[in-house]
Amino acid sequence: MPRRAATMVLLLTAVIVLADYIVTEDAAIWLIYLLPIGLCAWYFNRWVTLSLSIAIAILCTILSPFPCPHYNSISGPKVHVILPHVCFKYITGALYHLIFYSIWGIVIGLLREQRESIARLGWESLTDELTGLYNRRYLQAKLKEEKARADRYKRPLSILMADLDHFKVYNDTNGHQKGDELLAKIGALLRRRVREIDVVCRYGGEEFLIVLPETDGPQAELVADRLRAAVADAKLGSPSSMTISIGIATYPKDAPSPELAIMEADSALYKAKSAGRNRVCCAHAGEKPQSM
């Protein structure tokens, strides 16, 4: 986008400069220069915008006393010459244009920064600060969207509830900073191991929730087992490897709503914890032991 925007700014400026050279002096072409300056301020920083403003102010000054010659049958071409007593006029005119264009660029730049700030705040309100994953606020909105899609196309929607095994012991032994680093690493690992359409959220504490659209129970179980093995194989949580337990529930098979499916997945997670941890358990089914 910056390269395309730079091309547009340069082409637009060139067209306006050509028009400024051709038309008569009394035409307010200098106002049209606000377009490329505004475009530049929207996509680039203030120093680039200031440089363009200076260049355009100089061009306006140069083109002002030397318009394209106009011909008539009686007197021939008109030629404007800079006289010493009008030099001050052109210098002040250049400064006027520079100040005007610079203020315009600053205003557009501030609007862009405000827009980016609002977008950043909106993004931060939907993500977890520690892991960068989506938070529960985003999850609530996404579940409504995925439920509507699942109902429309009669497709299953599976929920994985994952929890780190013995995380409290690790946190107490190694400190909260190491615990936070471990959570961030596991969150990134989970995000890398699922599809783009899947939604990985930090549900709270050491719990992660994963939404798997168009995925039934057996498929979700394969995904969960792959994630469990990936965490165990990553050898995180030195000196001993951190493991996770995962509970699975599928809408509408296991629950009449995605929200209740989360409760069923949480119950399945509790069963996996009770059965020895580092394993996967499905709602309304026995746990699946994992080879250690």
Report long-range pairs for 13-21 (Cβ below 8 Å, ≥24 apart): 13/52, 13/56, 17/59, 17/63, 20/59, 20/60, 20/63, 21/63, 21/67, 21/68
- Which residue among 206, 221, 264, 287 is the active-site one? 206
Distance from C-alpha of 253 to C-alpha of 261, rounded to nearest angstrom: 9
Calculate the CA dihedral of residues 101, 104, 109, 111 and round it to 10 degrees.
-170
How many angstroms separate the Cα of 3 from the Cα of each of 7, 45, 117?
6, 14, 23
Torsion 38-40-43-45 (CA) sign:
negative
Alpha helices in 133-237 (DSSP H): 136-153, 167-174, 176-192, 217-233
Q: Are 185 and 247 in contact (CB under 8 A)?
A: no
Provide, for the chain, the percentages of residues in helix, strand and coil under a 3-state DSSP scheme, each rounded to the nearest 5. 60, 10, 30
Count, residues in the chain: 292
For the question of residue 129 being annotated catalytic, the response is: no
- Tell me the HSE value of 125 on the side-chain side, using a 13 A CA sphere: 8
Catalytic residue numbers read: 206
